[in-house]
Amino acid sequence: MNLFTDIHAVVLAALGQMQAEGALPEGLDFANVTVEPPRDPLHGDMATNAAMVLAKAAKAKPRDIAEKLVEKLAADDRITSAEVAGPGFINLRLAPAVWQGLVAAVLNGGTKFGRSNLGAGKKVNVEYVSANPTGPLHVGHTRGAVFGDALASLLDFAGYDVTREYYINDGGAQVDVLARSVYLRYLEAHGQEVAFEDGTYPGEYLIEVGANLRDKVGDAYVDQPEEVWLTEVREFATEAMMDLIREDLKMLGVEMDVFYSEKSLYGTGRIEGAIQDLTDKGLIYRGTLEPPKGKLPEDWEPREQTLFKSTDYGDDVDRPIKKSDGAWTYFAPDIAYHYDKVQRGFDLLIDVFGADHGGYVKRMKAAVSALSGGKVPVDIKLCQLVKLFKNGEPFKMSKRAGTFIMLRDVVEQVGPDVTRFVMLTRKNDAPLDFDFDKVLEQSKDNPVFYVQYAHARVASVLRKAAEAGITADDATLLAADHTKLDHEAELNLLKKIAEWPRLVEIAARTNEPHRIAFYLYELASDLHGLWNRGNENTSLRFIQDDDSATSQAKIALARSTAVVIAAGLGILGVTPAEELR
């Protein structure tokens, strides 16, 4: 139930009627006609721009169209007033009964209220995290993980068929480095002195992996050449790292549907197949790239390479898919991977990358566009950096100094709910400050707490109602007389609830889950406001002494608010609190 689409339909019907009566010419494009909440609530409940948008094509003055449209709209019994304002806006006011009807809609729908079929069941693949399997996840990954996960949930809520996917980069040189590092820890576990030189991972998390390897194979690999052990150790180490990463994700509450291995693309002809597809389209050639302008790398020399003609699809330069030794570059398996996603029948692909992959966006879009014949859109969301603070002081991360903050450090300190919510209170393409002290603060300065508090307050009302002997289960609340909710403050809260289904669609269309977080803050604010007005005006308190019928109507409103908050938090992956401590 989305009141805005309902009224939008009313407006379109009225416009159609005007055409039938000759008041408007045929063949007008209504696509830009919107119905939205006016910026200033004093103007009314909803506003439409219909008259202004159509004026030019209809060769009429906006206000003239508006005057006629207003007459039609006023005939609808949901609309109590329709008036022309400013340059040709039409401001509408809706009958209280329309707003009051929301309570039943919310209580009937539960946390499914606001679900949309915007996605119409289209298959969408959301790829996120995809961190290299060389160590536990750190803070940078955390933002991508939270963002991708919330986006996936949002799209699901908006009616898409969502697959959550993790691409394991286990095919490149970095896993050989990992294997060698684990091998050193393995030797160490056998009592040898080892040195970690450049090009190895000195992280302490590998000590245990080395010891486990020793327990598994004994001294079979000790003092053996690399050919003997590299493949097995690599396998063993990547498995161990993926176990670590899976644990990290679990701590955050992230569950993937698919873990897709890069390595599985090799030796199966799938990379060759994808490249062949591009070759058939005339997009693969041998050539030499121009050196980048400006600061030239010291060892630059022109080289002939196998290139993908990504410039045909808007990229700045063509991109190499093979190294000079004939091996694939990282780009080639990535092309094959996306080719595979296209072939699995997804209607839409979304990649969530870190900001450091910004330069990768154009070539990936080019590749998908070429591979799918432009049929499968790919949206690439970049998550900007997370800056950590402690006591207001920037917290520098350094691998060398051991102050590299891991995902588990953050989650252990502040919990998954806070971590998730805070990471979603900024749009993905803006950098994020994360202050350990501030996020744990319990005040309105902290949005997580503020929203949780609103939810907990409603739970508190329900407990108080039980103490006062008022029945307040959802069935009873649903049957209550909601027309008693006629105070302006109560109607305002209902109007905010009415925006929820609309907001879900906007957030889903733009792939911006942070909008959910901001909406929840506003909704919580309205509830807190109503609550406090009960201080001065006792008739606004949810529990009315000696009047259980009125109480039930008011509690139904509180409960509806809590349901929407719970639904929103559900999308963000945050558990709604029944009680705060």
Partner RNA sequence: GCACCCAUAGCUCAGCUGGAUAGAGCGCUGCCCUCCGAAGGCAGAGGCCUCAGGUUCGAAUCCUGAUGGGUGCGCCA
**Please, which of residues 311-350 interact with RNA by CB under 7 A?**
316, 320, 323-325, 327, 329-330, 333
Binding residue (CB under 7 A) for RNA from 60, 222, 540, 566? 540
CB 171 → RNA: shortest distance, Å?
6
Residues written for the chain: 581
Binding residue (CB under 7 A) for RNA from 283, 453, 508, 550? 453
Half-sphere exposure of 26 (CA within 13 A, CB side): 2
Which CB sits closer to RNA, 164 or 502? 502
Q: Which of the ranges 67-75, 217-225, 278-286, 419-427 carries the binding residues for RNA, by CB under 7 A?
A: 419-427
Contacts to RNA from residues 286-305, by CB under 7 A: 288-289, 291-295, 297, 299-303, 305
Contacts to RNA from residues 60-89, by CB under 7 A: 62, 85-89
CB 515 → RNA: shortest distance, Å?
6
Q: Express the helix, strand and coil content of the chain in percent, nearest 5 each.
A: 55, 15, 35
Contact (Cβ atoms closer than 8 angstroms) between residue 378 and residue 364:
yes
Six token digits for residue 207? 């000590």
Rounded-to-integer distance, Cα 476 and Cα 472, Å: 6
Contacts to RNA from residues 228-257, by CB under 7 A: none
Nearest of 135, 118, 207, 227 to residue 509 by alpha carbon: 118
Site of tokens 């803006």? 430
The helix/strand/coil state of 322 is strand
94: contact with RNA by CB under 7 A: no
Q: Which of the ranges 98-106, 250-258, 275-283, 502-510 carries the binding residues for RNA, by CB under 7 A?
A: 502-510
The helix/strand/coil state of 387 is strand
Q: Which of the ranges 106-114, 203-211, 283-291, 408-416 carries the binding residues for RNA, by CB under 7 A?
A: 283-291
Q: Which of the ranges 15-23, 72-80, 144-152, 285-293 carries the binding residues for RNA, by CB under 7 A?
A: 285-293
Question: Helix 514-536 and helix 488-498: axis angle, to 10°?
Answer: 170
Q: Which residues pair with 124 in a beta bridge?
A: 162, 348
Q: Which residues pair with 93 in a beta bridge?
A: 81
43: contact with RNA by CB under 7 A: yes
Which CB sits closer to RNA, 174 or 575? 174
How many residues sit in the footprint of RNA (CB under 7 A)? 109
Which CB sits closer to RNA, 232 or 578? 578
> How would you class 581 by CB atoms within 10 Å of its CB: exposed for 0-12, middle for 13-18, buried for 19 or more?
exposed
Q: What is the DSSP letter of 293?
A: S
Contact (Cβ atoms closer than 8 angstroms) between residue 564 and residue 106:
yes
Site of tokens 């590749």? 367
Site of tokens 């929103």? 568
Which CB sits closer to RNA, 185 or 426? 426
Which CB sits closer to RNA, 221 or 353? 353
Rounded-to-integer distance, Cα 468 and Cα 153, Å: 38
191: contact with RNA by CB under 7 A: no
Print the binding letters for residues 124-143 with RNA: x by CB under 7 A, - otherwise.
--------x-----------
Which CB sits closer to RNA, 286 or 581? 581
Q: Which residues lie closer than 8 Å to 29 by C-beta, 6 or more apart? A: 57
The helix/strand/coil state of 48 is strand
Contacts to RNA from residues 349-378, by CB under 7 A: 355-362
174: contact with RNA by CB under 7 A: yes
539: contact with RNA by CB under 7 A: no
CB 191 → RNA: shortest distance, Å?
32
Contacts to RNA from residues 455-494, by CB under 7 A: 456-457, 460-461, 464
Residue 94 phi, psi dihedral angles, 5° rounding:
-105, 150
DSSP alpha helices (H): ranges in 311-430?
Answer: 331-343, 361-371, 407-423
CB 37 → RNA: shortest distance, Å?
5
Q: Which of the ranges 50-58, 95-103, 138-146, 240-248 carries the binding residues for RNA, by CB under 7 A?
A: 50-58
CB 183 → RNA: shortest distance, Å?
19
Q: What is the DSSP letter of 224?
A: -
Stated as kind and residue range, the H or E segment containing 36 is strand 35-36
Which CB sits closer to RNA, 57 or 258? 57
Contacts to RNA from residues 372-411, by CB under 7 A: 382, 384-385
Which CB sits closer to RNA, 135 or 187? 135
Q: Which residues lie closer than 8 Å to 475 by C-beta, 6 or more apart? A: none
CB 282 → RNA: shortest distance, Å?
21
Contacts to RNA from residues 425-444, by CB under 7 A: 425-427, 429-433, 442-444
Neighbours of 389 (CB within 10 A): 15
CB 492 → RNA: shortest distance, Å?
10
